[in-house]
Amino acid sequence: MRKQSAGFLFILPWLIGLVLFTLAPMIAAVYISLTDWTIVGEANFIGFDNYTHLFQSEEFYKSLWVTVRYALLAIPLIIATSLAISVMLDKGHKGVGIFRVVYYMPAIVSGVAVAIVFKWILDPNFGLINSILTFFNIKGPDWLYDPDWVLPSYLIMAVWGAGGSILTYLAALKDIPQDLYGAAMIDGAGTLQKVRFITVPMMTPIIFYNLIIGIIGAFRKFTDAYVLGGAGKEGNFIMVYLYEQAFNHYNMGYATALAWVLFAIILTLTIIVNATKKYWVHT
């Protein structure tokens, strides 16, 4: 009994904040999604019209498809890359501190600056990647200017920014008791085996965290896509579509309905992942 109330007290400040700052706007957003609100004009109740229109809109399906494809590829790619980098950066060699800072650097610049730099890196003619390819006599693709290469362009950016989650892994790696490795060593385990049987299982709570955050992040991908776009509307992620509907076309009611659909998708995925938690997350 005592344990019950104590736990509740610890989360109480957050709960108060939830009621004060989060719940009211969310309830307002439910209502807004049922109106034709244009931000600067009056809001008229129109029932579920926004939702009906949404599910008939080709653009919605297109942007959803762009986002889903990106999420499916980017999330595992980012987790694998950042986990690999973190394992490497968990060594005690000299200078490792500098490397940690360097690999975390991509996460400290805001999305706009990253987008600007990548515009130059991916430039079809004089961009960094294509210049290197030309050096090897390979003709590089048009990247963001070619609908087929827009998704790979965004994946490159995602992998480059994967260092952003290394801090979470590093913090957790520190907690793996060293004697586990010692024991494994005595059993004759190699490096890869150690990673596979000790590091990864011990890290699963943090991988779980990064998976959920990754799903939310991928479905809400916005800044660089908004700045860079992409040929054939292949860079039109669902949040870009939402933002344009809300602030370029002033269809806030419709955009809010879109937000709720996005919310439902992310929530469903999270519940599914959460249900699998007991099978793979080590506690």
Partner 1 sequence: MKRIGVLLIVLLLALHLIGCGRKKEESNNFEFATWAAGAELTDLREIVDKVNEAAAGEYVIEIQSIPSDYYVKISTQIAGKHSPDFFWMTQELVSKYAELGAIANLTSQFNESERLKPEEYYEGVLASATYKEKYWGLPWIANPMLVYYNKTMFEQIGIKVPTPTDDWTWEEFIQIARELTGKENYKGESTYGYVVDGWPNIETFIWAGGGDVIGEDGKTILLDSNESLKGVGYLQTIIAEGLTPRYAEIASLGSNNVWFEKQRVGMYMGGLQDNFEEKVNKMSEEAKFEIGYAPMPVCDDGTSWSFDWTASTVMKKDLEGNKLAYKALEDLTLAFFEWKVAPPVKNSVENVVKIAPLKDKAIETIEFTLLGARSANYVPEWSDINDKLWYNLYVKLLNDPTFDYKTEMKSIAEYSRGKIAARK
Partner 2 sequence: MSFVKSQKPNSLYISNEKIRFRKIAWYVSLIIGSFIMLLPFLWMISTSFKLEDDIFSIPIKWFPDKITLDNFKRAFEVVPILKYMSNTLFIAVGKIFGEVFISAMAAYGFSRFKFRGRNFLFMVLLATMMLPYEVTMIPTFIVWSNLGLTDNYTPLILPAYFGAASFIFFLRMYFETFPASYEEAAIIDGANYLQIFRKIFLPLSKPALITIALWAFMGTWNDLLGQLIYINSTEKLTIQLGLASFSSMTGEVFWGPLMAASLLALLPIIALLLYAQKYFVEGVKMTGVKG
What residues make contact with partner 1 under the rule CB under 8 A?
38-42, 119, 123-127, 142, 145-146, 231, 233, 244, 247-250
From CA 205, how far away is CA 173, in angstroms rounded? 11
Q: With contact defined as beta carbons under 8 Å apart, do 184 and 194 qualify?
A: yes
Q: Give CA separation, 40 vs 159, 243, 259, in Å.
A: 40, 16, 19
Of 33, 26, 27, whose CA–CA distance to 253 is shortest? 33
- Tokens 């990548």 — which residue? 118
> Shortest gap between Cβ of 17 and partner 2 (angstroms)?
2
* Nearer of residues 53 and 194 to partner 1, judged by Cβ: 53
Residue number with CB closer to partner 2 (147 or 180): 180
Q: Which is nearer to partner 1, 126 or 279 (CB)?
A: 126
Choosing among partner 1, partner 2, none, which partner's interface includes residue 14 (Cβ < 5 to 8 Å by kind)? Answer: partner 2
In terms of CB distance, is 199 or 245 closer to partner 1? 245
Residue 149 or 169: which CB sits closer to partner 1?
Answer: 149
User: 106 vs 147, which CB is nearer to partner 2?
Assistant: 106
Which partner, partner 1, partner 2, none, binds residue 54 by CB below 5 to 8 Å per kind?
none
51 interface partner picked from partner 2, partner 1, none, CB below 5 to 8 A per type: none
Asked if residue 166 lies in contact with residue 86, where contact means CB atoms within 8 angstroms, the answer is yes
- Using left for φ > 0, alpha for ψ between -120 and 50, and beta otherwise, residue 232 falls in left
* Tokens at 185, concatenated: 């060593």
Smallest gap, in angstroms, from Cβ of residue 123 to partner 1? 5
64 binds, among partner 1, partner 2, none (CB under 5 to 8 A by kind): none
Give me the least distance between CB of 89 and partner 1, in Å please. 30
142 binds, among partner 1, partner 2, none (CB under 5 to 8 A by kind): partner 1
Return the closest-CA partner of residue 159 out of 96, 248, 84, 262. 84
Q: How far is the CB of 51 from partner 1 (least distance, A)?
A: 18
Contact 241, 219 (CB under 8 A): no
248 binds, among partner 1, partner 2, none (CB under 5 to 8 A by kind): partner 1
CB of 72 to partner 1, least distance (A): 25
Q: Indicate which of partner 2, partner 1, none lies near residue 267 (CB less than 5 to 8 Å, by partner kind).
A: partner 2
- Kindly state the smallest distance separating residue 164's Cβ from partner 1, in Å: 23
Nearest approach, Cβ of 45 to partner 2 (angstroms)?
16
Cβ proximity to partner 2, 18 vs 72, nearer residue: 18
